Structure 1
Amino acid sequence: MDTNSNRRAAAFRKTREAHQTEVAEDYVELIGDLIEEAGEARLTDIADNMGVSQATASKIVARLRREGLVQSRPYRAIFLTEQGEAMARDSRRRHQIVYEFLRALGIDEATANADSEGMEHHVSGRTLDALAALTRTLSKGDVASE
């Protein structure tokens, strides 16, 4: 393969890897939010908030349990493991950085929230750092005053 092919292959591989973790990140972030808001995360609440059936939510929660991200027992609430809490924190942080960047660009709140929900999973740490730095600059008004 030539250099361009290698670069493309690496980019597509990175995107496929992001897609594999995307669902897990969204679910653990939601479970963390539900626990923070209500003290627990119930399967019905997870399904309602994700807009999926309880059967779909149950399958994903079972996957998260196998991956060591959540703990649950039949007919009981679902809780994050330490690993799940770490993933939820990281996902929430990435979401917030992308959201704040979009808002600093003047994107309305609803659009920034919707767009950041997908973008957060596909942005590298290096790009996130750059977005955060640029957001601070934009928020200070430095760019506008130049």
Structure 2
Amino acid sequence: MEMVLTESMEDYLEMFYRIVAQQGYIRPIDLSNAIKVKPSSVTRMIKKLDEAGFIKYEKYRNIALTEKGMVYGRFLVWRDEKLKEFFRLSPENVKVEEQVEGVEHYITPETMKFIHKLILYFSADPGRVRELEKVECPPDDPNREDLKYLRAWLFRHSG
């Protein structure tokens, strides 16, 4: 059975892709600096991603993304950008980056495709967002309750 990417592996692979796209290569120290973790943590993750076939790593050389790594890295960056774009459509677009980080690992590629279509639909005509805002939720909608003890409440009410 092939290895399934963990949240942490996805975050690293996304950053690998971003750095390679920006400068054409990546060294372990570049990754360590970009995600602000100790070089030893980076080394452990590099070995995992190398064993899983997402990168090619030889000690004292630059890290290369494999074709599989490029495909997944490109998707992870796209997913991150599209989710941020989607959350910014809302007038309640508070702390978008933190919200995206909280949900991105749990959204399937099929759901991302649907979200992308929603972005395209609403972006094609800004009046559509205003129409959506006018839609009244039914009286039994749980969003009418005071839900301040949910973790998401912190995104809206903390500094």
TM-score band (shorter)?
A: 0.7 to 0.9
> Rg: which structure is higher?
2
Partner of residue 70 from structure 1, selected from 35, 55, 60: 55
Which one scores higher on RCO, CA 8 angstroms, separation ≥ 6?
1
1:122 aligned to 2:106? yes
Superposition map of 1:30-69 within 5 A: 30-69=15-54
Relative to structure 2, which stretch is displaced further, 34-43 or 123-132?
123-132
Measured on the aligned residues, the alpha-carbon RMSD in Å equals 2.1
Runs of 4+ displaced beyond 4 Å: none
1:1-146 superposed matches below 5 A: 20-106=5-91, 107=93, 111-139=95-123, 140-141=125-126, 142-145=128-131
Number of aligned residues: 127
Distance in 2, matches of 1:136 and 1:100, equals 10
CA distance in 1 between counterparts of 2:57 and 2:78 reads 25
Moved more, 56-65 or 32-41: 32-41
- Percent identity between the aligned chains? 25
TM-score between the two structures when normalised by the length of structure 1: 0.76
Instruction: Tell me how far 1:82 sits from its aligned partner.
Output: 0.6
The unaligned stretches of length 5 or more in structure 1 are 1-16
Q: What 5-or-longer segments of structure 2 have no aligned partner? A: 133-159
